[in-house]
Amino acid sequence: MTMQNKDYASTVRNNLKEEYRHMPLILPGAAVAVVDFSKGKILLQERTDNGTIGMLGGGIGITETFEQCAVREVFEESGLIVEEKSLQLFKVFKGQNFVTVHPNEDVVIHINWAAIVDFSECTGNLITRNAETKRLIWTPYDEVASLNLFRANRPMLEEIVAHLTK
SS3 23: coil
- Residue 3: band (very low, low, confident or very high) from pLDDT cuts 50, 70, 90: very low
Q: What does the pLDDT average to over 123-151? A: 95
| Other C-beta atoms lying within 10 Å of the C-beta of residue 38 | 9
- Residue 15: band (very low, low, confident or very high) from pLDDT cuts 50, 70, 90: confident
Amino acid residing at 150: F
Could you tell me which of 98, 117, 79 has the C-alpha nearest to residue 28? Answer: 98
CATH of the domain at 161: 3.90.79.10
By CB atoms closer than 10 A (0-12, 13-18, 19+), residue 49 is: exposed
Considering only residues 164 and 24, tell me which one the structure prediction assigns the higher pLDDT: 164
Could you tell me which of 99, 90, 108 has the C-alpha nearest to residue 163? Answer: 90
Contact 111, 94 (CB under 8 A): yes
What is the model's pLDDT at position 13?
77
Total domains in the chain come to 1
- Domain assignment present for residue 19? The answer is no
pLDDT tens digit sequence for 42-93: 999 999 888 999 999 998 988 999 999 999 999 999 999 999 999 999 999 9
- Domain assignment present for residue 56? The answer is yes
- Domain assignment present for residue 64? The answer is yes
Query: Could you tell me if residue 51 is left (phi over 0), alpha (psi between -120 and 50 degrees) or otherwise beta?
Result: left
- Domain assignment present for residue 132? The answer is yes
Q: What does the pLDDT average to over 134-144? A: 97
Q: Average pLDDT, whole number, for the chain? A: 90
Residue 7 pLDDT greater than 70, yes or no: no
- Range name among 10-24, 27-41, 75-89, 114-128 with the lowest pLDDT average: 10-24
- Domain assignment present for residue 20? The answer is no
pLDDT tens digit sequence for 30-46: 999 999 999 999 999 99
- Domain assignment present for residue 57? The answer is yes
- Domain assignment present for residue 16? The answer is no
SS3 113: strand
- Domain assignment present for residue 17? The answer is no
What is the model's pLDDT at position 1?
40
Q: What does the pLDDT average to over 132-147? A: 96
Domain that holds residue 43: 3-11+25-165
